Structure 1
Amino acid sequence: MPQSPATASPAPADPLQVRIGRQPIFDRELEVHGYELLFRGPIGDDAPATDGDGATSDTILNAFVEIGIERLTGGRPAFINLTRRFFAELPPLPFHPDSVVLEVLEDIPVDERLVEAVAGLHAAGYRVAIDDYLFESHWDPLLPHVSLIKVEINEETLDGMAQRLERLKALPVQLLAEKVETHEQYRLLHEMGFDLFQGFFFARPDVVQERRLAESTLVVTRILSRLHDPEVTIEELAALIGQDAALSFKLLRLVNSPAVGLRRQVESIHQAIVLLGLERIRAWATLFALAGRGDQPQELLNLGLVRANLCERLARETGLGRPDTAYTVGLLSVLDGLLSVPMAQALEELPLPEEVRAAIGRQEGDYGRLLAQAIALDQGVAVAVDSLPGLDPARLTDLFIESSEHAFATLAAL
């Protein structure tokens, strides 16, 4: 009897498989500043890395050679963890100083050789960061030679944080708060003067179940409700979008961009709908309407676009569902983060088809299977062998990289 996806064994490790995790880092305006690149073993091998040197080498090789750093970061700096050996032996670094931030891990002993190496990198124009900083005195010899300090955030370190930061603020360094988990933590740290932020707060907003929607959100959801009304006609949809000049402008600019690849100039919303279809225009109009609120990090839009492109590609490869609907499912899977309300409440606001609701809210049905795979790939998590039969790990990784690249191109066209 075949195993169900929930109980199936994980895929066997493939030594030729290339995977890298990445986590966005935000500035004070919640724009993406860069990405930390994280070691991930082949699908099926979820054991934590025991060889730090090997993990660092694999991450650098995979990012700069196998995949391409531009495809991973969209031109933003890549934060990379380096072991003591990389600092002490100083092998030739295969990247320009502007493209990376080199992190000194918390378990590296600070001695004369390390200080000398970090000072040399700093003088050569490289940015070096201290990782998981907890205000210990043994880091003091490095402080004159680093550009960033990543302060670890938890309930204990938040106590008295403002006072302890005064000394660091006197240094010519950027302060990065890492492991930020809630909007409340982000607000407090922003007030304390941190320059950069890293953690799950952008994707998992700390919200109250009974939270009321702000007026701006109500306006957006009214537009979205009409956009997703299954009875809406092409003429009605074109008229609705046409009432918002900014929405119309953004939509036409994207439709005519190289990211879409149409061979003819599109001059009207009606023409765009006819050429690209109701489903795709709905998805993009939804994205622009939500992005127009201007109070959410751009990385959420990027995450939605990655999942949308990935779900669409997975649908085409597997034959599960309709690609346009799969695209919409992926895009709206970040709806809770964009509206800063629980997903159940966000879905109540839109008259979406039940199959789309089931996929986004409970990961049920064919579209739910596609979304679950997309989320697993985005998070670097192994999935069951038979979750999507016919797709091997190498092909899944190719689809993820293609989707990521296309998402960056779409954002650049906005």
Structure 2
Amino acid sequence: MSEDAADQLFLGRQPILDREQRLVAYELLFRNGTRNAAEVTDDVQATATVIANAFSELGVEAALGTCRGFINVDEQFLFSDMLELLPRHCVVLEILETVPPSPAVVERCKALKAAGFTLALDDVIQLQPEFVELLTLVEIVKVDIQPLSRVQLMQLVIKLKPLGKQLLAEKVDSREQMELCLKLGFSLFQGYYFAKPTIIAGRKLDHSQVSLMKLMGLLLGDADTGELEEALKPEPGLTVNLLRMTNSVGSGTTETITSLRHAITVLGRRQLQRWLQLLVFASGKQPGTSNPLLLIAATRGRLMELLAEEMRAGDAPFADKAFMTGIMSLMPALIGLPISELIASLGLNPELREALCAGSGPLGDLLRLAESSEGGNLEQLAENLGRLPGLTPKALNRAQTSALHWANCIGQDK
């Protein structure tokens, strides 16, 4: 495969969560440019090289952190020796539903399992007799719940449970579907319900969230340090966290912070604003759980910031707006209020406001690109990338892996 073709790698990703809604994996979706890999002259070599490059050149393995990466494997790629270039400790080979359970396929899966790979079977909607032997080899069964009625899903789970496999519900789009799958014993979940949760109308901000939003409004209004200090003083919890963060090695300073005003000055307005934005999401967590939206929002904000820097090198204000657009775009899902209501009192400039409310302008285009990278529709991803002159697939993938790594570090710190 040519170097140009390698540059046309598209990396899509979809979050996979456990029963406590903790982010445990991503499904990684690879294609050669805007085409399906099957259209490439040498399909097997092209697909294998693209994926191998993703783990070596793009650093996906490091970006995944403690999460695993699920990778779709078709029949041709299943038999490629290049498959074994993948780091077996952090990937799950997801055997597509189009792969026939032939004796050769079964033997190949036995060899891969013996070599230390984790196998999953994709898009299961019924228990067909010819797949029984293959099912004994996989550790994870992905059930497509969309075409199944409630009764059909229950019947399928009853048949699968005796096999002792980990069940993953995919295409979970609603709270009702999530609750049903929990009751049926699914342990992993994937779908738009997590990436694009439905808004719970009428939910009010609690005291902590109100304080955070007020502080963000002051920062956006360019309030002086004294005003910020006065707003923080009635919030001892926030103050302690701010001082702890500013005094930490990770803040990049060796100074000992002695006052709130000093902490604000040392940390800087840009970092203070980001800290507050992330705290808004963290405040929505249930005790003892991890909110996947925190990592998704952090990843989206950082991705948009990196892409903005790529588009307009040296334009720090534009990059800051891109980061904030990404973070705030998921606030309705967390807080349960429309974005227009959330930002009404924040005094946002028109460019940022229009991007969030109407999806217009360069920031709106960046937001759509970030959303499509999370959705898994690679044709839409390519289309949205085409609206942003100056951004290449390679730059997008580099930014994605960097953003994932950055967000995972935040998750580990918390």
Q: Normalization by structure 1: what TM-score?
A: 0.82
Stretches of structure 2 lacking an aligned partner (at least 5 in a row): none
Instruction: Return closer, same or farther for 1:412/1:267 CA change in 2, 3 Å cut-off.
Output: farther
| Aligned-partner Cα distance in 1 for 2:410–2:77 | 36
In the TM superposition, what whole-angstrom CA distance separates every residue of 1:15-66 from its partner, at most 9, and x where no partner exists?
Answer: 5233311111100111111111101333xxx233325635641442133222
What secondary structure sits across from 1:285 in the alignment?
A: helix
In the TM superposition, what is the alpha-carbon distance from 1:248 to its structure 2 partner?
4.1
Instruction: Return closer, same or farther for 1:142/1:312 CA change in 2, 3 Å cut-off.
Output: closer
- Give 2:333's aligned residue: 337
Is 1:213–2:203 an aligned residue pair? yes
Instruction: Return closer, same or farther for 1:93/1:247 CA change in 2, 3 Å cut-off.
Output: farther
In the TM superposition, what is the alpha-carbon distance from 1:303 to its structure 2 partner?
2.6
| Aligned-partner Cα distance in 1 for 2:370–2:247 | 27
Please identify, of 312-321 and 179-188, the stretch whose mean Cα deviation from structure 2 is larger.
312-321
- Give 1:225's aligned residue: 213
In the TM superposition, what is the alpha-carbon distance from 1:237 to its structure 2 partner?
2.8
Residue 133 (structure 2) aligned to one of 136, 141, 166: 141
Is 1:171–2:163 an aligned residue pair? yes
Is 1:237–2:225 an aligned residue pair? no
Matches within 5 A, 1:343-362: 343-348=339-344, 350-362=346-358
| Aligned-partner Cα distance in 1 for 2:342–2:206 | 11
Q: How many matched pairs?
A: 395
Matches within 5 A, 1:115-194: 115-137=106-128, 138-194=130-186
Alignment RMSD, CA only? 3.2
Is 1:203–2:199 an aligned residue pair? no
| Aligned-partner Cα distance in 2 for 1:158–1:267 | 60
Stretches of structure 1 lacking an aligned partner (at least 5 in a row): 1-12
Higher helix residue share: 2
| Aligned-partner Cα distance in 2 for 1:330–1:375 | 9
Please identify, of 131-140 and 27-36, the stretch whose mean Cα deviation from structure 2 is larger.
131-140
In the TM superposition, what whole-angstrom CA distance separates every residue of 1:66-100 from its partner, at most 9, and x where no partner exists?
Answer: 21233441232111122234444665612443311
What secondary structure sits across from 2:193 in the alignment?
A: coil
Checking the alignment, whether the CA contact within 8 Å between 1:53 and 1:83 is kept in structure 2 is: no
| Aligned-partner Cα distance in 2 for 1:375–1:48 | 20
Checking the alignment, whether the CA contact within 8 Å between 1:27 and 1:196 is kept in structure 2 is: yes
Report % sequence identity.
Answer: 32
| Aligned-partner Cα distance in 2 for 1:164–1:393 | 40
Instruction: Return closer, same or farther for 1:62/1:26 CA change in 2, 3 Å cut-off.
Output: same
Matches within 5 A, 1:1-150: 16-42=7-33, 46-50=34-38, 53-54=44-45, 56-88=47-79, 93-137=84-128, 138-150=130-142
Please identify, of 348-357 and 108-117, the stretch whose mean Cα deviation from structure 2 is larger.
348-357
Instruction: Return closer, same or farther for 1:132/1:377 CA change in 2, 3 Å cut-off.
Output: closer
| Aligned-partner Cα distance in 2 for 1:390–1:19 | 16
What secondary structure sits across from 2:207 in the alignment?
A: helix
| Aligned-partner Cα distance in 2 for 1:86–1:184 | 37
Please identify, of 340-349 and 198-207, the stretch whose mean Cα deviation from structure 2 is larger.
340-349
In the TM superposition, what is the alpha-carbon distance from 1:130 to its structure 2 partner?
0.8
| Aligned-partner Cα distance in 1 for 2:252–2:292 | 24
Is 1:413–2:413 an aligned residue pair? yes
What secondary structure sits across from 1:213 in the alignment?
A: coil
Checking the alignment, whether the CA contact within 8 Å between 2:354 and 2:360 is kept in structure 1 is: yes
